[in-house]
Amino acid sequence: MRDELRDLYQEVILDHGRSPRNFRRLENPTCLAHGNNPICGDMLVVYLDLDQAGRIEDLAFQGQGCAISMASASMMTEVLKGKTLAEANKLFECFHDMCTRDDFDPAKPGGCDVDAMERLSMLSGVREFPIRVKCATLAWHTMQAAVKGEQEISTEGAP
Ligand code: ZN
């Protein structure tokens, strides 16, 4: 394994990949979606329980894939619990920027949830590996699809 790749697979990522948090199905979810990243072979299902006000009461996922995709899904379930959908979408925007932009700054005014971004920053190494960005964002795309009422999403052809 090359050094940079080893850095990407930091201990935290490996830990989440081996023992993903909230790795279960919800019995009666408000919504769910299947996400597929054919480039890498990552497949997962994201379940959400929303309350009347659109707050994420609970979320969980199941599936299989590379350590990055599993770790990212695991971390996502941790940071999104208790967030509103608006906050979740904003956080995805920030996370996506973190994964793709060299000039990303979580502390910029009007910006991102700093605590959440600090936890997600473990995955910022994917910036060096564009193909891995799809692994890291799969769970988030799937979460958004579920909320929009789409049952299936694929990273194929997605930006
Ligand atoms: Zn992957």
Tell me, what CATH number does 96's domain have? 3.90.1010.10
How many angstroms is it from 36 CA to the middle of ligand 1? Answer: 10
How many angstroms is it from 40 CA to the middle of ligand 1? Answer: 5
DSSP state of 127: G
Q: What is the pLDDT of residue 10?
A: 79
Structural domain range at position 86: 3-150
Per-residue tokens: 33: 């979606």
What are the phi and psi torsion angles at 10 (to 5°)?
-60, 165
Residue spans of the chain under pLDDT 50: none
For tokens 């692994």, what's the residue? 135
Query: End-to-end CA distance of the chain, in Å?
Result: 28
The answer to whether residue 35 is domain-embedded is yes
The answer to whether residue 159 is domain-embedded is no
Of residues 69, 126, 132, the one with CA closest to residue 98: 126
- From the CB of residue 30, how many other CB atoms can be counted at a distance below 10 Å? 17
How many angstroms is it from 53 CA to the middle of ligand 1? Answer: 33
**Domain count of the fold of the chain:** 1
Q: What is the pLDDT of residue 109?
A: 67
The answer to whether residue 112 is domain-embedded is yes
Q: What is the pLDDT of residue 4?
A: 66
Q: What is the pLDDT of residue 105?
A: 84
Q: What is the pLDDT of residue 137?
A: 97
